[in-house]
Amino acid sequence: MIEIPRSSRADAVANSIEEQISTQGLPPGHRLGTKESLRREYDVAVATFNEAVRLLSARGTIAVRPGVNGGIFVASPTALVRLGRKMLELSGESVSVADCLMMRDALDPLVVREATRHRNAQDVRELRNIVREMAAADLAIAEYLRINWALHRRMAEITPNQILRHTYLSLLAFVESRLQGVTADEPARGSTDGPQVHEELVEAIASGDVERADRAASRHTTLTAS
């Protein structure tokens, strides 16, 4: 049995909270609970839950309020978040996964370049931690894809360009929601080159060398197109 890394558990908790908000139609301002009550509900370590909170805050899903009457609340989505969601709802199911993937792939080089220009030491540490998870042996396809999505989300969170960040994350969320539960629970044999390609992508971002990052992004594009 493979031990699930902390960042993987944090991502799973974040996705579960997002699903709860969506399926129950919880309105902005709804109090989900305190950090401690929710941490106990999901039965995870403090560090793991803090990471889940960071992910949800970066996505604009929750707001954390201090004080006696504070806690974790459903956030009021910004205009950019609402625009990104509306863009994917306009045509209902006529918005295809293939179309979203095409747009995401087109934005990938820009996301990588932005991450290279604006990353800090914390960003680099977290990107390296995620890419190490991708190299784990015997990952199922579904788990490999989940970690892959987590890496790309984390890269996109670095850019200060809110339009790019929210557009990219909206596309990724749409694809992820459509593919969860339908991916095969079998070893990701086809992803042999994936960990190496993504490791170079992260190291290029860490280096701050935009030309190296462009080359790494080009190699990544070749991988996703194959």
Concatenate the DSSP letters of all residues of the chain into one string.
-PPPPHHHHHHHHHHHHHHHHHHTTPPTT-EEE-HHHHHHHHT--HHHHHHHHHHHHHTTSEEEE-STT-EEEE----HHHHHHHHHHHTTGGGS-HHHHHHHHHHHHHHHHHHHHHH--HHHHHHHHHHHHHHT-TT-BHHHHHHHHHHHHHHHHTT-S-HHHHHHHHHHHHHHHHHHTTTS--SB-GGGSSHHHHHHHHHHHHHHT-HHHHHHHHHHHHHHHH-
CATH 1.10.10.10 placement within the chain: 6-74
Separation of alpha carbons 196 and 206, rounded Å: 15
CATH 1.20.120.530 placement within the chain: 79-225
Retrieve residue 16's tokens: 């579960």
Tell me which of 1.20.200.10, 1.20.120.530, 2.40.420.20, 1.10.357.10 is the CATH number of domain 79-225.
Answer: 1.20.120.530
Q: How is domain 6-74 classified at the architecture level of CATH? A: Orthogonal Bundle (1.10)
Tens place of pLDDT per residue across the chain (226 aa)? 334 455 568 888 988 898 888 788 888 889 999 999 999 999 999 988 998 898 888 777 888 988 878 899 998 765 555 555 555 554 455 566 677 778 888 899 999 999 999 999 989 998 998 888 888 767 677 778 888 888 998 999 899 898 898 888 888 877 776 665 544 444 444 445 778 899 999 999 999 999 999 999 998 888 766 5
Separation of alpha carbons 217 and 132, rounded Å: 18
**pLDDT, position 221:** 83
Amino acid found at 43: D
Confirm if 84 and 103 have CB atoms less than 8 A apart: no
DSSP bridge pairs for 27: none
Retrieve residue 71's tokens: 């806690």
**pLDDT, position 158:** 92
Residues 6 or more apart from 33 whose CB is under 8 A from it?
Answer: 41, 71, 72
**pLDDT, position 42:** 92
**pTM beyond 0.75:** no
Strand positions, DSSP E, 91-142? none
Starting at the edge strand that comes first in sequence, how are the strands of the sheet with 62-65 ordered?
31-33, 71-74, 62-65
